[in-house]
Structure formats: C-alpha cells, structure tokens
Structure 1
C-alpha cells in the first residue's frame, strides 16, 4: 500500500450505507459506489462548492446520495472521515445524529484526541496503521462500536495502538519527532520522554540520528 487512500480503502468493510464525510472530490465515495461494497453511498460536505465537484464525478451513479451538511447529519452504518484535523473529527463524531457502527478515520493531526474520543464514545480500535506520504506521517484508524479492548497505555494513545509492534514508518516518524524535540529538551521534556519510550518499544536507539 503506497499511501493513505490505499490504506483507507483496505479498511472499508461491506455495509448497507457508507458515508464519505467531508468528501471533497469524493474519491472514497467513488470507490464505494463502483466497487459495490455498499448498497448506498452518501457523499457529504459542508461546502456546496466541494459537493458540486463530487456531483460532477458521481452524478450518474444511482446508488449515491449527495448531502450538503455539517458533519454526520444523517444515518449511516459506516463513515469514512479523512483529510481534516483530529479535533474536527472528534466534534463530528460527538455531534453525529447517530454514531455509525464502524468508522475509518485519517486525521491530519491530534491523533491522540481522536483515539481518546473513540474510546469515550464506546468504540474499540481494530486497526491503527502508520502511513508515510510525501514526507508527512499519518495514522489510519478503523474502529467499531462495542468492540472490547483492554487497558490502553498513554503511548498507544499518542502514537498508535501498535506502538510496540515494529514498524519502519513509525520508527522513522518517532526519530524525526525525537530530533525536533531534542532542539529544546527542557521545553519538550514530557514529549521527549514519551517519544524515547516509544522508540524503545520499537527496538530503536533514540540517540541514533537520521541521515
């Protein structure tokens, strides 16, 4: 898998109604409509201008419904939310008309807030995949309502549920964070400690600098 879109697609599961929330160009909605993974696809966006782009792409599809609205102001079984900040994703979930059974999320930042919100809302995280794309790092998270989970550590909330599972992408991300925080170690003491602990879980030496 080469990027976020591929990973997101791989985590979408068959459902009656799947929503592409904040759809913009509706790449996810197009995949769901064309693959037959959903009986009905909702492409929604708060921007009418963005929704028009989606309609141009998918206007001929008879299994797609377009909604100009803020967040999840409708009923769906599965929601995909990507391309926005984590705090906004949290607000969308908290204000949903009804929580989707399954969500696939890719926040641009504040991933820890997303994980905390998912657990608070009754979701269990089933997949948490680190992705590198164009020099930036992301996590693609899949969660389901009612899925049981054990005790979750602060490092898992900060860096991903699989922080103890070796990952070249995650290790690279952590090393870059370590290098950044090391420029002002006293100011970033808590962050540096967390990143160092995560690097140790990855089996990496926190003192090794990037080439």
Structure 2
C-alpha cells in the first residue's frame, strides 16, 4: 500500500524533474521515496539517511508499497552518498535552512551550471535559505507556500545559474510565493512575525525602514 504524503511532501514530489534519477536525502521512513518510485516517472530512485534506523523503516515502507526493487537505499551523511551527475533532482526535506545550505556547501559539484535541481522544504528560516540561494548563484524555479499540521512551509525548487544577486529583505521574506493561491495566507503569516523581529533592528537603518514600510502597508511581493 502506498503511503499518504502531507501537503509539504506532495508539493515536493510535484517539483521533481521527471525522466531523470532522483535522490531523497534524509529520507526518514521512506514515504516520499516510495511515492516517487511507484510513480514510474524516474529511471532510478535513491533514498538515503544518516542513520540505520530510519533506513530500516524506509525498507519496510518500500516493501509494503511494492516498490522495493525500484529503490536503492544508501547510508551516509548528506550528499556524500551521491556522485556528480548521478541524479537530476535532489530532495532535501525536513531539515533546517542552515542544515540545508551546509549540505549543499559540502558538495561543490551541485553548484555547477547544468547541475541537479534542488527541491527543499526547510523546517525553519525560509527567508534565510532564499537569501543564501540567491547570494550563491541559485535561481528559484518554484517557491510554493503550503500548510501542513497547522504550520506554513515553503517548498522551493532551485537550480544553479551562477548569477549572484543581493536580494532585499522583502524579497527574502516572500520569495515567489505570491505566484500561488496560498500566497496571501503565507504573506500574512510572515508579516505577523515582523513586529517582534523589528524590536531587534536599530532605528534609522535601511532594514528598519523596509520593515516599517511592510508593517504600515501591504507587502510589495517580488519575484
């Protein structure tokens, strides 16, 4: 029986490039791995985790879903389990923004034009991950806001272009989420956190002025 995915992982699955191998890094119990394998859209599916326990559970999930023979499970840290050019998409779901970019930094072959698409679901600090991606030459191919278990998440797909850009605070706050029907709800959630964040920002700075404008009126969401 195929496992049911929540809104986060459903959105992540929809952003994986079809027709090319895919790796689910930090696959945990293997739910997303199983759904990707069962779809038949990918010539090869790799599920990897740092710990043997989750991998054993992932193996059980794959067995129950009837697609164990279509997945290769690997034990290892981050992207050390992959080699350059092995997959078309790498999924990094359920870890923090900082852990996400640290994993990417440890695999320089990802930051190459023509490299793999990255599908990410940061558990926290969405804005900081967007900033890191833009400042390190990645472009956001998709930035989808979703709600799961009463929380907002941003499911991002990024590809390396080599074009470095320095985004504004507002761009980092909302990304490309306004392109989706759920964008207004996500923007309201992001804005609700601003008053507390503003307390730690010195008056008279450019950042303070940008935040004050956001708090005074409707956000100027940018692509």
Q: Of 186, 196, 200, which aligns to 1:187?
A: 200
Q: Secondary structure at the match of 1:72?
A: helix
Structure with greater helix percent: 2
For structure 2, list consecutive stretches of 5 or more residues without a partner in the other structure: none
1:142 and 2:153 are equivalent in the alignment: no
Distance 1:101 1:51, change over 3 A: same
Separation in structure 2 between the aligned mates of residue 89 and residue 69 of structure 1, nearest angstrom: 15
1:1-211 alignment, distance < 5 Å: 3-59=7-63, 61-73=68-80, 74-75=82-83, 76-96=87-107, 98-99=109-110, 100-146=115-161, 152-162=167-177, 167-178=183-194, 180-181=196-197, 186-187=199-200, 194-198=210-214, 200-202=217-219
- Cα contact 2:45–2:70 (8 A) shared by 1: yes
- Cα contact 1:163–1:201 (8 A) shared by 2: no
For structure 1, list consecutive stretches of 5 or more residues without a partner in the other structure: 204-211
Could you list the per-position Cα deviations for residues 41-80 of structure 1 after superposition, in whole angstroms to 9, with x for gaps in the alignment?
0000001111111111114522211111000121322111
Separation in structure 1 between the aligned mates of residue 190 and residue 7 of structure 2, nearest angstrom: 19
Count of residue correspondences: 200
Q: Secondary structure at the match of 2:69?
A: coil
What is the TM-score of this pair, normalised by structure 1?
0.79
Structure with greater strand percent: 1
What is the TM-score of this pair, normalised by structure 2?
0.76
Distance 1:192 1:164, change over 3 A: farther
- Cα contact 2:28–2:55 (8 A) shared by 1: yes
- Cα contact 1:86–1:111 (8 A) shared by 2: yes
Once superposed, what is the RMSD of the aligned Cα atoms?
A: 3.0
